[in-house]
């Protein structure tokens, strides 16, 4: 028997407004997030990330489709959201209270106050030294850390984080990234996080979905999406001679204008030397090794092209 996924999203859509003001923010999104993974939800501004997350948390009603968390419908079996901690865009705190006080108030509201846990969380998110100060004086990054601590207060099995590293400096991002990873690796939590910072996601997520204009355009393990993406593209003349020369060392394919070589960036100097030695003129050698970022951009552009 396969394990019930942490999140199952079926044919989820959300349309805002009517008539000419109609915006299809989310279109027939279907996703399954296994337990214990860090799952990235990637997309440019306005792609529909926050809207999807709000429907996952039953903060807004879907136009169509549904969301199940640990096998339960969030709309019909709202209780399941007790197993979820979340940061959603624009989470607010009491500005005149300290960070610690805010967490204590939240914990008390949830009938679950354990002062030791509040302190441990403040420590874990790197806010212990500022916990006694009013939230009013916090930077964006500090508020983000406090948000993460708040999301973890009830020791949830699933964390849903909308842009959790927004406003953090590179060091802070690294820290939070490691923290998120350890929540999954050492504590078996499932984390669903949205981001448009792809370098980030590439480093922390097991699996990603790319959303653009409300639609999922790619989904898969980060490693699979990027697999086989290390290539060199060569423009040279005469092309067939270049293909013959390089064919002795690497797998080569030609589209009549350039060659695609199964070689890495590190091979480039060697490759160029071989061609020049054989009297081939080299115009361009481009490394096609993609980061998730390049992959993402190429996917988004491809989709835009398809619409034109
Ligand atoms: N309450 C609303 N009323 C009308 N339109 C909305 C509403 N909420 C979101 N939208 C629209 O839905 C689309 C998706 O917005 P959403 O906030 O989900 O994007 P996002 O992927 O979270 O973007 P960002 O990276 O900027 O946070 C946008 O076109 C947005 O303008
Ligand atoms: Mg958003």
CATH of the domain at 24: 3.40.50.300
Query: pLDDT at position 289, please?
Result: 55
Provide the number of structural domains found in the chain.
Answer: 2
- In this prediction the pTM is 0.79
Query: pLDDT at position 201, please?
Result: 83
CB of 48 closer than 6 angstroms to any ligand 1 atom: yes
Q: 214: which DSSP letter?
A: T
> Of the ranges 69-78, 79-88, 239-248, 282-291, which one carries the lowest mean pLDDT score?
282-291
In a shared domain, residues 126 and 178: yes
For tokens 């992959």, what's the residue? 295
How does the average pLDDT of the chain come out, rounded?
89
In a shared domain, residues 278 and 183: no
For the segment 212-231, the average pLDDT, to the nearest whole number, is 81
In the chain, the percentage of residues whose pLDDT exceeds 90 is: 59
Has residue 300 been placed in a domain? no
- Is the distance from CB of 69 to CB of 56 less than 8 angstroms? yes
Query: pLDDT at position 291, please?
Result: 63
In a shared domain, residues 207 and 165: yes
Q: Mean pLDDT: which of 64-68, 176-180, 217-221 is highest?
A: 64-68
CB of 5 closer than 6 angstroms to any ligand 1 atom: no
Q: Which of 131, 293, 167 is nearest to 226 (CA)?
A: 293
Residue having the nearest C-alpha atom to atom 11 of ligand 1? 25
Query: pLDDT at position 31, please?
Result: 97
Query: pLDDT at position 111, please?
Result: 66
- Is the distance from CB of 33 to CB of 7 less than 8 angstroms? yes
Which residue pairs, CB below 8 angstroms and at least 24 apart, start in 246-252? 246/271, 246/274, 246/275, 249/274
Tell me how far the alpha carbon of residue 201 lies from the centroid of ligand 2, in angstroms.
15
* Residue range of the domain that includes 191: 7-226
Tell me how far the alpha carbon of residue 91 lies from the centroid of ligand 2, in angstroms.
12
């Amino acid at each position: 028997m396969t394990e019930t996924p942490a999140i199952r999203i079926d044919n989820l859509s959300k349309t805002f407004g009517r008539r000419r003001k109609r915006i299809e923010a989310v279109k027939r999104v279907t996703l399954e997030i296994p337990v214990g993974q860090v799952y990235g939800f990637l997309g440019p501004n306005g792609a529909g990330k926050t809207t999807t997350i709000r429907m996952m948390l039953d903060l807004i009603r879907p136009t169509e489709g549904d969301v199940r968390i640990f096998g339960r419908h969030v709309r019909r079996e709202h209780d399941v959201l007790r197993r979820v901690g979340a940061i959603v865009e624009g989470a607010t705190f009491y500005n005149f209270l300290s960070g610690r006080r805010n967490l204590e108030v939240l914990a008390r509201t949830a009938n679950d106050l354990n002062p030791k846990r509040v302190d441990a969380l403040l420590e874990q998110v790197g806010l212990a030294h500022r916990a006694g100060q009013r939230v009013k004086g916090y930077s964006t990054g500090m508020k983000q850390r406090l948000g993460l601590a708040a999301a973890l207060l009830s020791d949830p099995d699933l964390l849903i984080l909308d842009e959790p590293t927004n406003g953090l400096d590179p060091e802070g991002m690294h820290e939070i990234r490691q923290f998120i990873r350890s929540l999954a690796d050492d504590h078996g939590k499932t984390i669903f996080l949205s981001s448009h910072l792809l370098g980030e996601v590439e480093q922390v997520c097991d699996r990603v979905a790319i959303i653009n204009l409300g639609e999922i355009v790619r989904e898969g393990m980060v490693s699979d999406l990027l697999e086989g993406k290390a290539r060199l593209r060569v423009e040279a003349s005469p092309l067939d001679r270049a293909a013959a020369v390089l064919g002795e060392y690497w797998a080569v394919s030609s589209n009549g204008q350039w060659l695609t070589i199964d070689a890495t960036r590190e091979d480039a100097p060697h490759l160029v030397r071989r061609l020049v030695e054989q009297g081939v003129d080299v115009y361009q050698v481009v490394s096609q090794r993609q980061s998730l970022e390049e992959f993402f951009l190429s996917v988004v552009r491809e989709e835009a092209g398809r619409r034109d």
